[in-house]
Amino acid sequence: MLGSTKVALANTCSPIQSYRDRRKSGVSKRGLLPSSQLSFFACVVLFASTCIAYSDEPILSSDQPIVFDFEKQQFLARGDATIEYQDLHATADEILYFKNEGQATASGNVRLNFQSLRLLSQRLLYDIGSRQFTCPEFRAGYFPFYAEGKGIKGRPGEIEFQEVNLYWREPTSVSPNLKAKHFKIIPSERIIAKQVLVRIGKFPLFYLPSYSQKAGEFDSKIDSELGYRGNLGAIFKLETLFPVSTHWSMGAILDAYSERGFLAGSSFTWTQPGLIRRIVGDLKGAYINDSGPRSFDINGEPIKKDRYFLTLRHKQLLEKGLALSAEINLWSDSEVIRDFRPETFRHYQQPDNFVEALYVTKNGFLSLLTRFQGNDFFITRKRLPEVRYDMMTSPFFDTRFFHHFTASYARIEDGNVIDLKTENERLDFLYSIYRPFRVKDWLNILPIFGTRLTHYFETLSSDGSFTRIMGELGIDAEIKAYAAWEIQSKIWDIDGLRHIFRPVFRYRYLPGGASGKKKIIPIDREVFNTSLPPIALANIRSIDDLLDLNVIRIGIENFLQTRAEEYGSRNLVELNLYQDYHFNSTKNPGGWSNFFTQLNLSPAQWLDLDFFNRFQFDDLISIETRTQLSINDGEIWTIGFSLNNLRNEINQWDVDFFYKLNERWAFRTHLRFDVRRNEFAERIFALRHRISGIWEVEYQAVFHEGSNRENETSFNIRAGLLSF
């Protein structure tokens, strides 16, 4: 027989090669059929004796005739031989199938496809019954991994590697990889490894006794930085994080500074997904014996040599509506994060410390909060503890009224008030009732009545306790009108337009707030805030620093919308204008307050504008302006502009620009100009380079001016895994 031969070993009779010269056959005489007449008889016997017994057999094919040894019940395929069985497809120079044992062996240039696995080896053993394959030394691909090792075996639902080097994506000289004694992949479930050496290329980083993570969620992390800063000297930073079990990950922090010393620490994360019992948290800490110039902290105190930071965050959802959350930040001094983790300091300059348990009832929330002062160099209003119950807004029996109630007890402290008492105990009760009226389809009115009773166990004059009773009388009204137009625009992605015009009117009269001004220890007091101030009694947080309030708020709210592609609508333009008028009260002697303007413009995905302004009409002065403008062209380039202007305090302009040069290289810059000092406060110029689709390296030149601790020039090289 000549040409390609394909045999369905269960459903057809196998073509059997007959040789006149037995030396060419390589099979014993009793295993060959001498003539074509007996071949037909053998097929019949083979079909009756084996095909009925084995209804599910592999398919064997080859570009050369397949030889059958009748005595041993063996099929031999040479050349470009292939065996197929369910989700296995293997090709080799030679495949031998043992029918009685239900096993196949392949040798020479073995190429295997098994589910999502692609494998190369010199030998393969496959068991039909268990659907398990085994190979010695191999190279394999299982997206996104590349593996090479001394042994592999697999079956549906599980693949095991022995003495394996496992690379993320491609095996290059800079690829992160795991050298493991044992590695197991459970598709769509988990990846488990034992005795793991984490490496970059051939360079070892550290050893893990075990490694485990959910399949498809590669939450490992390697971030590094090499550079120079004037106050730190030459810098090398390294942070790693790798899963070590089903729910835990751990990593190392190792920094070296030529002018400061070594900073070392570790980090941990834990997680347990689920709707009922969900847990997520992390712990990170590091220490350095700082040998460099440390200067002073935020309070003017000298900074000590022993410097550290420790951060703990935890959230846990328990059964029956119980949730637990905690955040603990312990810093050696106010500047440790600013010096050694400036990226974190940009967004988190004053840490908090609290533990809270929250229980959700049928109609409200019960909470227990402890807020403590972990760092004595920051202002902290402590709760030691606070117990609070909030009843959600609910119908008042079978009427058209609705009501809301809160009650709390707190032991409060403030160690940052000079020459005053700094602790107290407080009971606070708030009750509000209101009745909505829909006068017309376009007019809604909401009268509000409320009271707040606050009892203080101590006073400033130490003459016993004090109880303050406040009232609330208010009315909210709004008019709603709209117009719609069927306007289409592919450029702006507009599918119809709708304008919502909503004038609002709010009035609040809060008497009794100033009655305890000379007796109440002001712990929860008013702080500096540039946003639109709250006027509803329930929304005012500075309850130890309240004053009488008699105010009208007039506003106009505008929304220009179009149909969203997925569902509902999206805002193209949002413009809100608000103006307060204060009658004669202790908070304001009377007259108009600042005029607030809030604008958001998002007509397309490539354009976004935010604008905020406070204007004082009495003196025709702009008190504050905040503006952010962003324009982008997909992933090619982005330009951003921002302005922060607070009268007599801040006047800074920021420009951010990003341009993607090609698939590997990109350029970005950040400029911050201080108008008051007439100089650039910060300039960053950076090139980004993607290496092998694995690493993102950024080369930075950074220039600071006018800062107490960053007044310097620095050059950095930062590298991080894109995903691992």
Q: For residue 174, give both structure tokens.
A: 């800079």
pLDDT at 385: 94
Q: Which amino acid is at 94?
A: E
Burial letters for 47-74: b for 16+ Cβ neighbours within 10 Å, e otherwise?
Answer: eeebbeeeeebbbbbbebbbbbbbeebb
Judge contact between 292 and 259, C-beta under 8 A: yes
Judge contact between 624 and 651, C-beta under 8 A: no
pLDDT at 588: 59
pLDDT at 189: 73
- DSSP H/E element including 698: strand 695-704
**Distances in whole angstroms, Cα of residue 582 to Cα of each of 21, 298, 462, 579:** 115, 38, 34, 10
- DSSP H/E element including 346: helix 342-347
Q: Which amino acid is at 674?
A: D
CATH of 1-115, one of 2.60.40, 2.40.30, 3.30.1490, 2.60.450: 2.60.450
Q: Which of 297, 369, 307 is nearest to 332 (CA)?
A: 307
Distance from C-alpha of 154 to C-alpha of 117, rounded to nearest angstrom: 10
Q: For residue 8, give both structure tokens.
A: 């369905």
Q: Which residues of the chain have pLDDT under 50?
A: 1-5, 10-55, 417
pLDDT at 636: 93
Q: Give the CB-side neighbour count of residue 104, counting CA atoms within 13 A.
A: 30
DSSP string over 311-324: EEEEEEE-STTEEE
Distance from C-alpha of 681 to C-alpha of 353, rounded to nearest angstrom: 32
Alpha helices in 146-265 (DSSP H): none
What does DSSP assign to residue 534?
P
Q: Which of 71, 51, 70, 53 is nearest to 7 (CA)?
A: 51
Domain ranges for the chain, please list them: 1-115, 137-218, 610-724
CA of residue 400 relative to chain centroid, distance: 44
Q: For residue 202, give both structure tokens.
A: 């051939």
Distance from C-alpha of 29 to C-alpha of 334, rounded to nearest angstrom: 92
pTM, 2 dp = 0.76
Q: Which amino acid is at 515?
A: S
